[in-house]
Structure 1
Amino acid sequence: MISLSKRVFTLFVFTILCGITSAQAQKIKEGFDYRILPVPQPVETKGKVEVIEFFWYGCPHCYDFEPELSSWVKRQPKDVVFKRVPVAFRDDFLPHSQLFYTLEAMGKGDALNEKVMYAMHKENKRLLAESEIADWAASQGIDRNTFLATYRSFAVVSKARNARQLSEAYRIDGVPTIVMQGKYVTSPSIAGTKAKAITVMDYLEEKIRKDKYK
């Protein structure tokens, strides 16, 4: 018969071993779970952790990753700056980038980005033709004429084109891709799973803080 003290000791050892095994299972390695850009890009805000999601509204993987990513963003402290950059791998996808920046310019991005994805992935809307995009915006309570004026504006068109150049500078070849501090790159496909990608993001966030936001 095992005494109580021995049982406690056995439980203690088992807990320690489980913790070690868990830590080993979650060990994060450069080149496997994330990579470093050969040419780091400048960050916009000093003394902050800059996080960029490169995405495309039409990407099913971006849509699938959205709930986990949104939850991660909501729990971040004030020293984390998060932004999205739409990627158009083809010219005919540029309207999606324009749609993103139009909603952003009108202060509707946070409220409607997920609804855009839902319309495309669950309602089978392509949202590539200007008229279809404007009709969808109107269905969300946005004035159609105001939307079109913003959508066609020089500022929005320029941002959509600049986003494409930015994705090239960051060497984005697939989405969703997360870039932190202008140099650390990870994604569900790089890390292996959505959950592991979130774990890697937490790890890189702490690494950036320890490195004094470098």
Structure 2
Amino acid sequence: MGDPGSVGDPGLVVGEDGLARPVWASVDPMLRDYYDTEWGMPVRDEQGLFERLSLEAFQSGLSWATILRKRPAFRTAFDGFDPEAVARYDERDVERLMADAGIVRNRAKVLATIRNAGATLALREDPDGDLARFVWSFRPADTPRPRTYADVPTTSAESVALSKALKRKGFAFVGPTTMYALMEAVGIVDTHLLGSHRRGTSGVWPA
């Protein structure tokens, strides 16, 4: 990328293409592409939300780059995160997943993903709607406007409420911090730094 220049915000750098990005998305091509094309864009379908929720759970305690590099293997291992398929997994599938070096082999997280698939199917009968509509119902009235990473929250009243509501519905590994990361990733809140070329591009929130 060459020698990126500052844009006056310690959280942003300008690349060779003239676009301002956060430091974490300014060097690694994989992370840059993810930031430019996917992170913070609305995900409103059940399977897409189930995949993001599952990957956020697996990310707990690890870097997002690790999960992103393994995402193709995760998709293969978990039948494209089809909740109907995953909900049918039995002990043989658990052992298959635990032997798969392409994914994060954490038994508690594997079991939580299977459990969450069943909870996702159960939500289809819920008056509050399927997983996507349920999660999006916790969209706040406003979104942060961070200038630096110190300004970016890690939880919110809405992520705490979403965490509690999902736990009541039978979901696991859905703590408030994990749920806030999910809300950022799927566009429910916009935590792009002010000055980033992605700020306000989701169509959900103004810049």
TM-score calculated relative to the size of structure 1 = 0.34
Query: Is the helix fraction higher in 1 or 2?
Result: 1
Higher relative contact order (CA 8 A, sep 6+): 1
TM-score calculated relative to the size of structure 2 = 0.35
Query: Is the strand fraction higher in 1 or 2?
Result: 1
**Over alpha carbons, which structure has the higher Rg?**
1
